[in-house]
């Protein structure tokens, strides 16, 4: 996994898409749709020039056809395309005849490249920012560039399109009315569990990006800290071997532990806490037994309390009883 220019992990699929040409072989303009922000018949010939500023352009996450006409228009007319990896964006450029200058912007060069980009934008350039796949800034480079552009009074325009997080959410079969995108969880189990513990009480579906080698361990930690919630693991979305596996966290953790790491880019969706504020004694015991397999007494109690809505002291006392220990105050 590449690190982004803003210090975040980038785990999106690498692929791209494109634009048409006229009979003479020149790029064919793609006009705005009626009523769109850029539709202005009075502009005439000036329509071929982009308004100066930074354009945040989404590109496909797998299937190269998932590119918008507006994205192709902007990429064709931009003075330069700012890329997470110029080699990846070259695939898009070659496929659709995009001739704009490509500038690499990533974790290793961001500090000295970003001021140069801001200077060009301030001088009146129109530049497009793309990531390796999907929507820039979503676990990909761009946040600091956008923040500094805004601070400098440079116009920033979104050109929306594909997003792995939203694509996975729509096919997971879990509640979509409220969701929290949490990006990549920490690589180490201790830090991962601490973050999951903070998220346990959030009454929304949780969306994570994950790497294949860490998937089984991450699912086990989710089970320990969130309880056995319904979940989905989506991988290779929009590609030939697209797969969405839907089950409880316990079953998913066991599947990927026994089958080994899957191939491809992965999104994990976890359903929100149960709607019932009070769990039955049997429900409580089942969740505690499951959580205690992989978590400490304190961690398991906190996670189950968040999942059930029961008081932490009550859940902690029950966990002590299940382990056959003498009652003692829950540690602060």
Outline where the chain has alpha helix (H). 69-77, 86-96, 110-122, 143-151, 164-171, 189-199, 215-226, 249-259, 281-292, 297-308, 312-322
Residues 166-190 have pLDDT tens digits of: 999 999 999 999 999 999 999 999 9
pLDDT score at 153: 97
Those residues with Cβ within 8 angstroms of residue 308's Cβ, 6 or more apart along the chain or in another chain: 227, 273, 274, 276, 277, 278, 279, 283, 284, 287, 315
**Dihedral sign of CA atoms 15, 21, 26, 28 in order:** negative
- Which is it for strands 9-10 and 53-57: parallel, antiparallel or unpaired? unpaired
Q: Which of 293, 253, 201, 225 is nearest to 322 (CA)?
A: 293
Residues 277-323 have pLDDT tens digits of: 445 677 788 888 888 887 888 888 888 887 777 778 888 888 888 88
Judged against a pLDDT cut of 50, whether residue 33 lies above it is answered with no
Judged against a pLDDT cut of 50, whether residue 7 lies above it is answered with no
Tokens of 317: 């006392």
pLDDT score at 301: 85
**Dihedral sign of CA atoms 120, 125, 131, 132 in order:** negative
Match 């995009």 to its residue by tokens.
Answer: 98
Judged against a pLDDT cut of 70, whether residue 9 lies above it is answered with no
- Which is it for strands 266-270 and 101-104: parallel, antiparallel or unpaired? unpaired
Residues 219-264 have pLDDT tens digits of: 999 998 898 999 999 999 999 999 999 999 999 999 999 999 999 9
Measured CA distances, 238 to 17, 140, 163, 241 (Å): 13, 19, 11, 8
Instruction: Yes or no: say if 16 and 95 are a contact pair by the CB < 8 Å rule.
Output: yes
């Amino acid at each position: 996994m590449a690190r982004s220019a803003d210090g975040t992990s980038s785990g999106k699929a690498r692929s791209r898409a494109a634009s048409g040409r006229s009979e003479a072989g020149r790029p064919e303009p793609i006009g705005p749709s009626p009523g769109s922000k850029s539709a202005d018949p009075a502009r005439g010939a000036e329509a071929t020039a982009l308004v100066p500023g930074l354009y945040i352009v989404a590109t496909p996450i797998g299937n190269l056809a998932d590119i918008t006409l507006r994205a192709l228009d902007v990429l064709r007319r931009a003075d330069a395309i700012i890329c997470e990896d110029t080699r990846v964006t070259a695939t898009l450029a070659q496929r659709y005849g995009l001739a704009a200058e490509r500038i690499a912007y990533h974790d290793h060069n961001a500090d000295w490249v970003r001021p140069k980009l801001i200077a060009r934008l301030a001088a009146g350039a129109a530049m497009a920012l793309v990531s390796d796949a999907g929507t820039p800034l979503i676990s990909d480079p761009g946040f600091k560039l956008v923040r500094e552009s805004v601070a400098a009074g440079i116009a920033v325009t979104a050109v929306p399109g594909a997003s792995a997080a939203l694509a996975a959410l729509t096919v997971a079969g879990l509640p979509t009315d409220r969701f929290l995108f949490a990006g990549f969880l920490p690589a180490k189990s201790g830090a991962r569990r601490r973050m999951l513990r903070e998220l346990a009480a959030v009454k929304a579906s949780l969306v994570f990006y994950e790497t294949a080698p860490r998937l089984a361990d991450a699912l086990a930690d989710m089970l320990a800290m969130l309880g056995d919630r319904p979940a989905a693991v989506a991988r290779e979305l929009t590609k030939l071997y697209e797969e969405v596996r839907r089950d409880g966290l316990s079953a998913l953790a066991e599947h990927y532990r026994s089958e080994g790491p899957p191939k491809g880019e992965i999104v994990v969706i976890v359903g929100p806490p149960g709607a019932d504020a009070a769990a039955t004694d049997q429900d409580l015991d089942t969740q505690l037994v499951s959580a205690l397999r992989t978590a400490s007494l304190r961690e398991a109690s906190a996670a189950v309390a968040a999942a059930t809505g029961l008081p932490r002291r009550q859940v902690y006392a029950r966990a002590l009883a299940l382990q056959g220990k003498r009652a003692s105050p829950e540690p602060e």
